């Protein structure tokens, strides 16, 4: 349902940070998870970008935690129980499940979308499919 709203928002704006900011706002309002945000790839690290939620770690090494693993492997990672994920980075003690979707273009990961839930097993394959679509729209909007 929010896909048309997001496409309309991104149309005509090519600034990635501005678009990330609006996408987090729309997702937060529509989905309500306690943390929804982006990390941008800067060298061998992911650096915190626009988000909605509680304060977060500012830098994550490529390959570390769920975000760093997703960015390195260039695939979406769905974590039903963060306590079972080796190397999970706990930015918040209330995080129980998580999904991370990378944006990959020409073989390079330029950012990831991270959503954290305070409930176990809160993300489905349907969430994955639509979030991947949103991340693709967002990444492709950049000028
Ligand atoms: N849990 C993430 C870190 C980012 S925050 O929770 C916002 C991870 O393991 O990559």
pLDDT value of residue 143: 77
**Can you say how many angstroms the Cα of residue 2 is from the centroid of all Cα atoms in its chain?**
16
Would the CB of 35 count as within 6 Å of ligand 1?
yes
Atom of ligand 1 nearest to the CA of 85: 9
User: What pLDDT band is residue 22 in, cutting at 50, 70 and 90?
Assistant: very high
Atom of ligand 1 nearest to the CA of 68: 10
Which of 89, 101, 109, 113, when mutated, tests ligand 1's pocket best, judged by the most ligand atoms within 8 Å of its CB? 89
Share above pLDDT 90 across residues of the chain, in percent, rounded to a whole number: 93
Ligand 1 geometric centre to CA of 41 (Å)? 14
State the pTM of this model.
Answer: 0.96
pLDDT value of residue 92: 87
Q: Which of 90, 107, 105, 91 is nearest to 135 (CA)?
A: 105
| Mean pLDDT for all residues in the chain | 96
Would the CB of 116 count as within 6 Å of ligand 1?
yes
Across the beta sheet with 45-53, what order do the strands follow? 59-61, 45-53, 35-42, 108-117, 97-105, 77-79
């Amino acid at each position: 349902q929010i896909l048309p709203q997001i496409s309309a928002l991104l149309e005509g704006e090519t600034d990635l940070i501005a678009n990330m900011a609006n996408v987090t706002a729309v997702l937060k309002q529509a989905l309500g998870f306690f943390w929804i945000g982006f990390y941008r790839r800067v060298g061998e690290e992911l650096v915190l970008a626009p988000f909605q939620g509680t304060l977060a770690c500012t830098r994550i090494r490529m390959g570390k935690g769920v975000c760093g693993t997703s960015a390195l492997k260039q695939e979406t990672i769905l974590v039903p129980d963060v306590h079972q994920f080796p190397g999970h980075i706990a930015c918040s003690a209330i995080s129980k499940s998580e999904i991370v979707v990378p944006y990959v273009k020409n073989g390079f990961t330029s950012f990831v979308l991270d959503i954290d839930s305070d409930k176990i097993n809160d993300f489905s394959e349907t969430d994955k499919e639509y979030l991947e679509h949103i991340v693709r729209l967002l990444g492709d909007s950049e000028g």
